[in-house]
Structure 1
Amino acid sequence: MRTLLWRGSLAGALVCGIGLLPWLAHTDPALTVLKARAQDRDPDPEVLAAVRSQLRLDDGPLALLGRWLGGLPRGDAGRSWISGAEAGPTVLQALGASLLLMAVAFLVAGCTAAVVCAPTLYRGGRTRPGGTGSAVLAALPEFLTASVLATVVGVQLGWLPALGWYGPQYTLLPALALGLPAGAVLGRLLDDQLPGAFAEPWVRAAAARGLRARAIARQAVRRCLPGLLPSTALFVVGMTGGAVAVEQIFDIPGLGSTTLQAALAQDLPVLQAGTLALVLLAALAAGAARLGVHLLIGPALRDGAVPALPRPAVPVRRTTPLALAAALLAVLAAGLPRDPLAVDTRARLQPPSWERPLGTDALGRDLLARIAHGALDTLLLALAISAGTLLAGLLLGLLPRLSGPLVDTVNAVPPVLAALLVTAVAGGGPATPALAVAAVAWAPLAAHTSALLRQERAALHLTATRALGAGRWYLLRHELLPAVVPPVTRHALLRLPGTALALASLGFLGLGAQPPSPEWGHLLAENQPYAERAPWTVLAPAAVLAVLGALAVTVAGGVRRSRPGTGTG
């Protein structure tokens, strides 16, 4: 009951905060609504007074919020301040489109994760250094992938529809843009646990009895799923409400784009209804994940009979991260002495040459200089956010009763909406994108920490140590934290490119860095319209992001701890 009250309080606080958005931002909602209805309308005092009277804005935000909440039990979510249509059916229709897109994207993600894990499963848990391919795939910006798919596959080749939402075939290209990066991340998380599952004694016993390798592989995947399901639930919600850029590129009337448009126009009834739908979806996804964990190992967790996954030493090819780091340093060394703001209109969209190794953009600026100078902002900011979210995820993950409902609620807020809320509360500025990303980026790490902690607490070795008289703090320092911190740290490193991509997405949507900043996200956003004419303008920053992703994964492979006595796998 306390958990339900806590979840309800958090959801209510979020929805109420959304309802106060215009007043928190110190803006006139009547003026914003008028501009959204008719941009060429003169906002004279009489017109604004008519809008305030129609929307009953003079009653104050609390009265408006009270009327909206009072209508929910009757199924009345109010009417749009812009179109006058009922908010409930509008949001439900958008939710239906997003759920269909999410289902197809999740299928793509599952197939991608299977491909990523296939080599480890085929070799019976014996991993090899590598994983750079999945790292590059995870580091691809969703909006860039969507743009390339729409241009090449949809327009130039004409294989699939590239614009609109008129049937199931229209889901394929956006589902690929969403599912490929998500599947790469999920596949890496699963591949990280598989060596430990294959190192358990039951694998040798099953092989000795003649059980087929395929059946052993299935059981190994089943053994690792409990630690992965909470993160999977977060991806489900993220692919539903967080697919704003992809929905805009493919002109999909989904919940993400509907919520963003309502937020920009301060259409509070639609925005509140959309946020409530996202919160409910997050709660359902989290509940399904917990049910899945219970069905898989529920009785064993209750009885403390789950063996801890061994953590075998995995070989790390040190030359790979050194080569990737050298490539990034080479870009910085070559580009930092150049001027990133120098404009040469006679050299617009020039291809790579000896003078300009990465070519120029639409204003004739040197792309190598802009990428190198933007790296100082992007990398330092992404590293700082990753370090902060790792610490927050570990601390909150150690308190699952507190963080569980908070994770579900925070995960329902897309980074775009979080940026709007941060802007309303703290004002605009260069720190706004960082605060918005940090406000939601800790949730997957906390969910991963809680899942691993719950499984580790039921381990047999922990039960034996507790029986010998070990106290709570001893178990935390010497058993729980050493088991949880390395995989969560690898998870955080794996999400380092994703943090940079979240900042890039905000820049693409106009909520991040602004001109003439050379931040990588802004580079991708400003050069995306020229992707067909001058592909190097987007391939260069995308390639650097891909190198960053490969570097993060290869470094993450070295953050391991081999427990004595568990074998080497």
Structure 2
Amino acid sequence: MSATYGSAARPLLWPAALGRVVAGAGLLTAVALLPWLSGTDPALTVLRARSADQDPTPEQLDAVREQLDLDQGPFAHLLHWIGGLPRGDAGVSWVSGEQVLPQIGTALSVSVTLMLGALVVTLVVAALVCARTVVLGSRRRLRQDRTGTGAAVLAALPKFLLASLLATVCGVWWGWFPSSGWEGPQWMVLPSLALGIPSGAMIGGLLDQALPAAFHEPWARTAYAAGLPPSYLARNALRRALPGVLPQFLPTVVALVGGAVAVEKIFNIPGLGRLALEAAIAQDLPVLQTATLALVLLGVAAGVLVRALRNALIGRPLRDGSLPTLHRPRLAPPRSLRWVAGGCALALLALVVAGLLRDPLEVDTAARLLPPSAAHPLGTDSLGRDLLARLGHGALRTAGVALAVTAVSAVTGLLLGMVPRASAGLTEVMTTLPAVLAGLLIAGVTGPSVWGAACAVCVVGWTPYAAQTGALVEQERAGGHIAAAVTMGAGRLHLLRRHLLPAVGPALLRNALLRLPTTVLVLASLGFLGLGEQPPTPEWGRLLSENQPYVELAPWTVLGPAGALVLLSVLAVSGSGLGQRR
């Protein structure tokens, strides 16, 4: 039997290992080039980070260049840094002059602790999202597809906005938990909730969509007919559906460590993501390289652990080619889904049309932070600009760029995921690259622009889709129906068109739509750092970023764009359900 579609052969480990080494080396090399790609004098950036001196003298700059040996070029610095790692020496910070490894160790311990707390919240939220499907499926009462709107709403919540609300309400107003700092277990409660609720909703929504197929497999029907208890069906259905969702924990885990910059800033947490971003902005190369290496090693370890868990859950069927397919024709969507999609579409259309009739750039300093009224239905921002106008004028650009980035990322992930053994190592390493760091690298070459930011998100945005596609393709190839099709003379194109794509496509689409609001917010974060869309151009994510400091004083400044993101997410998820009938 073909080694490609037969599953009795042992999986090849060297392509993934080679991919990890090559991708890791390429990423570290790109990071080493950052000061030279940025277009600014590295000595000037480092000196300003040290003393905030805006007009240093040429003598001061020459002294910094000589001290840091900047004339040697990036590769000499990279080789010197790598040579010190076996001795436990990662160099000293260019800004503070302190040893790098103690800084990285402290920040990594904080981030890993926060990650564990956020993972607990993620698992709890994911369990709550799919609990109803598990209960109904174990009792054979599933009759139609779920709308998934609840998961879409929670997944669309901006983490930094949720963090601000939790810090204000639960920390400052009610005093339940500390709202700033990192001194004990109680300090991790609010940031764990801010990180875990959207992540748990996303993973729970994906699992919720995979469970009905597991409950309709022959073993489930036989178990129900034999009178086995519902707990048996629920336990085995979860074991059957989880392997296809587990790869989504890989980008989630790494994002909780390296991508939680905004949450770390809001709660004043000295984590690894915040340290890496500050080092990248200050061009503190030893700190940035060591932080990147820590993230790469974490991503590889998480990838190996996820693969081991998948193999443990599936067991022998994956190796022996006796795994049944989870693909089945989708049932006709419930009637309520039409009402949900229609209501969201009408609400978004009304907001956009009403906003387009107003001037988004008119500044009225006498009308700063006004609450919603007849003159300003969504209120005004800190410059007195009408928020409804900015929301309406930013709709096309926000949705258009986010959809384009999501489509490119999903297609790239699909293509790479079709060859999981070759792309597994690359996926694990690229998952560890924060979008902000990718934005800094690309902006150094192309300059800050909205399309530069879009390219930066695409560089890292394909990894969740590749991980999901690789897992689903591996399971589908281990099915007996694939072996039967090959025996009957089916070619690769037939297998791809009739078996693999129908099994992967719906799940990939669902994942992409759930991640659409996240794409909007990542693009906004790049623009907020000066790497993407520049002010005063209106854009939904930028509206959230600009008005986030005023959440406590004027909460209406963020309610409009946050609500628009939720409506867009629910509309996208509901629309995907309407477009898939038996």
TM-score for the superposition, normalised by structure 1: 0.96
Paired letter, 2:91? G
Paired letter, 1:146? A
- In the other structure, the counterpart of 2:434 is 414
1:222 aligned residue (239, 263, 267) = 239
Alignment map for 1:449-460 (pairs within 5 Å):
449-460=469-480
1:385 aligned residue (392, 405, 411) = 405
Cα distance in 2 for partners of 1:510, 1:472 equals: 46
Residues 1:19 and 2:19 aligned together: no
- In the other structure, the counterpart of 2:574 is 554
Greater CA deviation, 260-269 or 119-128?
Answer: 119-128
1:116 aligned residue (106, 117, 129) = 129
Give the superposition deviation at 1:2. 4.0
Cα distance in 2 for partners of 1:425, 1:72 equals: 29
Alignment map for 1:57-206 (pairs within 5 Å):
57-124=70-137, 126=142, 127=144, 129-206=146-223
Cα distance in 2 for partners of 1:64, 1:131 equals: 50
Residues 1:256 and 2:273 aligned together: yes
- In the other structure, the counterpart of 2:357 is 337
Cα distance in 2 for partners of 1:72, 1:82 equals: 20
Cα distance in 2 for partners of 1:190, 1:35 equals: 49
Paired letter, 2:355? G
Cα distance in 2 for partners of 1:232, 1:224 equals: 14
2:540 aligned residue (520, 523, 527) = 520
Cα distance in 2 for partners of 1:528, 1:462 equals: 52
| Helix, strand or coil at the partner of 2:578 | coil
Alignment map for 1:186-335 (pairs within 5 Å):
186-314=203-331, 315-316=333-334, 317-335=337-355
Paired letter, 2:80? R
Q: Conserved in 1, the CA contact under 8 Å of 2:448 and 2:532?
A: no
Cα distance in 2 for partners of 1:241, 1:197 equals: 34
Give the superposition deviation at 1:464. 1.2
1:437 aligned residue (457, 482, 486) = 457
Paired letter, 1:96? S
- In the other structure, the counterpart of 2:6 is none
- In the other structure, the counterpart of 1:357 is 377
Paired letter, 2:434? P
Q: Conserved in 2, the CA contact under 8 Å of 1:160 and 1:173?
A: yes
Cα distance in 2 for partners of 1:462, 1:225 equals: 21
Cα distance in 1 for partners of 2:579, 2:247 equals: 22
Unaligned runs of 5+ in 1: 563-569
| Helix, strand or coil at the partner of 1:431 | helix
Give the superposition deviation at 1:112. 0.3
Give the superposition deviation at 1:55. 1.2
Give the superposition deviation at 1:534. 1.3
Give the superposition deviation at 1:27. 2.1
Q: Conserved in 2, the CA contact under 8 Å of 1:149 and 1:173?
A: yes
Paired letter, 1:67? H
Paired letter, 2:310? V
Give the superposition deviation at 1:5. 2.5
| Helix, strand or coil at the partner of 1:202 | helix
Q: Conserved in 2, the CA contact under 8 Å of 1:422 and 1:432?
A: yes
Give the superposition deviation at 1:136. 1.2
| Helix, strand or coil at the partner of 2:462 | helix
Paired letter, 2:435? P
Matched residues, number = 562
Residues 1:373 and 2:393 aligned together: yes
- In the other structure, the counterpart of 1:50 is 63
Cα distance in 1 for partners of 2:532, 2:85 equals: 34
Paired letter, 1:361? D
Cα distance in 2 for partners of 1:89, 1:361 equals: 42
Indicate how the Cα distance of structure 1 residues 139 and 483 shifts in structure 2: closer, same or farther if over 3 A, else same: same
1:481 aligned residue (501, 511, 516) = 501
1:425 aligned residue (445, 448, 456) = 445
> Once the two structures are superposed, what CA deviation does each residue of 1:101-156 show, in whole Å capped at 9, x if it has no partner?
00000100100000100111111172554322221111111111111111111111
Paired letter, 1:302? R
- In the other structure, the counterpart of 1:565 is none
> Once the two structures are superposed, what CA deviation does each residue of 1:368-387 show, in whole Å capped at 9, x if it has no partner?
11000011110011111111
| Helix, strand or coil at the partner of 2:394 | helix
| Helix, strand or coil at the partner of 1:339 | coil
Give the superposition deviation at 1:312. 4.7
- In the other structure, the counterpart of 1:4 is 17
> Once the two structures are superposed, what CA deviation does each residue of 1:342-395 show, in whole Å capped at 9, x if it has no partner?
112222222112222111112221111100001111001111111111211111
Cα distance in 2 for partners of 1:506, 1:142 equals: 15
Cα distance in 2 for partners of 1:436, 1:329 equals: 30
Fraction of identical pairs, as percent: 56
> Once the two structures are superposed, what CA deviation does each residue of 1:215-260 show, in whole Å capped at 9, x if it has no partner?
2111111101111111112211111111011011111111100000
Greater CA deviation, 7-16 or 291-300?
Answer: 291-300
Q: Conserved in 1, the CA contact under 8 Å of 2:450 and 2:527?
A: no
Cα distance in 2 for partners of 1:386, 1:121 equals: 30
Cα distance in 1 for partners of 2:199, 2:157 equals: 10
